[in-house]
Every structure is written in structure tokens, then in C-alpha cells.
Amino acid sequence: MTSSRCVMTSSAGAGGEKSGRGELLWIDSDPHFVIQVPEKKDALCFNIQEAPGVVLNLIKDPVIGITVNGELIGNKKVSGNLESNQTYFGKFGIINTGMDLKIEVNTDKIIVWNGEKKMIFSWQETIRISENGLDLLINKKKNVLLSMGEGARFVIILHKVWKNHPLHKDFLGFYTLDSHRFSTRAHGLLGQFFHGIDYEISNVHKISDPQKPDATMFVKNNMLTVNRGVQKDYRMDARDGSKVPCWFVHHDGHGLIDGNHSDYIVPNLFSTE
């Protein structure tokens, strides 16, 4: 490596971060996928229900060589030795083949492979790494801000549960801050929406809950029944989040995402195929 610098910082946060060009997309909680659509001043959302241990491809761009995968974790066992069916993201793997870079972010630590160099960092420290196009800022027990080159920027938020919680484990949220560098060949559960999504909503009608009306969505030549819901954006407030209204697409996003959700299952955290 030609240059390297490691800068310790005392405090920083994601509160001032704004999205760049491209769509603002994120995944958080159980796991909820949210696609903001600025042109319509609205958002779309869907869940993916899969088993703990399954790895899903979130972003894959063969042109610029960036891939992001996420591994699901489940809750702890509950009474009667039955497991809750809720799942969350517990690990993210970020690969940049052009920079010879791999990053694993889990709920315990952050591991960076930069060429032959391996660096391990704890969530218990605030530190910034700037090295050969990589800018990595770890905010103690809060989030990781990641920038690679010019235009690929993400934030990963750490959700801590109280110690010895009987059900929940610590988990992660993933947010894109700037996606304009990605090519039109970008795909994945999030990547396919980087360059926008067109849809029409009609036949909005109230059901039992007047705050969550049903509607018909026309998208990708599909007619879907959707309902109004609310998801959370935790970038500014990692504890309570801010409410984001969205049209919820059922059945693992079927009809909104290309193909079936099972098409996005990959063998491991650093799979690029």
C-alpha cells in the first residue's frame, strides 16, 4: 500500500448525514426493506421471511465490483423451547473487488481485509480509518459510516438490547447514503431500486384499521394488493427512530422485486456470484 493513515476521533455521528444522488434505501428490524421514492414523495416496503443463517444478496454491481450481503439471525429460544419466527440482520459482508477490499460488520466487531492487511475493530471504540479510497468511521456503540471511492456510501447501525434480554439479540440496520456511482446493472434486493421504481396506486379503500387502508398497486406489469403501513428510519435516532409511511407489499415483496426472494439467497457472506 502506498499510503495509510489511522485517525482516532473523540465523537461523531450519523445525524448530519444526507443522502446523495440516487434512492435512499434501507433495511432494519424484522427485516423491513424500505425504498423511498422522492418523485412520488412516498415509500415502498416489504419484509423477507427466511431462516436464521440464510445469507441474502442486497447489492451486486458487476461493473464497479461492489457486493453487499447480509446474514440473518433469529431471536433467542422462548418458553416451551419454541423459537420466535422473527429474524434480523446480524452480519453484513461488503466486497469491493476493484479495491481488493472485504469488510465484515457484525454485532461484536468490524473486520477489514484491505489487500493482505487485516484489521479488527471493536464497537467499544470510536475510530476513523482512511486508506487507499476507503473511509471507515466507527462511532462507539452506535454506527459505522463507510465510503468507498467516490459515491458508494453506507451506514450500518448497531441496535443494542438490554443485557440478558430474554428474547432479543443485538442486531444491525443497513442504510444507503449515496448510490449514484452504481451502474444500471446493479441488482440485489436493494440494488435493483438504485435507479428508481415506477408504480401507480389506485382503489385506496379503508378496511378494519382506518390508518392502514388497502390499495391496488400497478408495478412491473403486476397488479398487487398493498396496504398502508409505517416503518422506522433509525439514522437520526437509533433508539426510537422516525416514522416513515409506506405501501407494504406482501409475500416477501413478490411482484415488486425481480423474481422470487429465494433467488437472492447466496452461499456465504462474501459470495459475489
Q: What pLDDT, on the 0 to 100 scale, is given for residue 9?
A: 36
Percent of the chain with pLDDT over 90: 69
112's grid cell: 477489514
Q: Is the pLDDT of residue 40 over 70?
A: yes
pLDDT band at 81 (very low <50, low <70, confident <90, very high): low
| The pLDDT of residue 210 is above 60 | yes
124 compared with 181, residue with greater pLDDT: 124
DSSP β-ladder status, 222-233 and 242-249:
antiparallel
Q: What's the CA angle centered on 272, arms 269 and 273, to 5 degrees? A: 120
Residue 8 clears pLDDT 50, i.e. is over it: no
Residue 82 has pLDDT above 80, yes or no: no
Decide if 222 contacts 214 (C-beta within 8 A).
no
Averaged pLDDT for residues 46-52? 94
Mean model confidence pLDDT for the chain:
87
Domain definitions of the chain by residue range: 5-10+22-197
Which of residues 168 and 219 earns the better pLDDT score?
A: 219
Alpha carbon distance 119, 1 (integer Å): 14
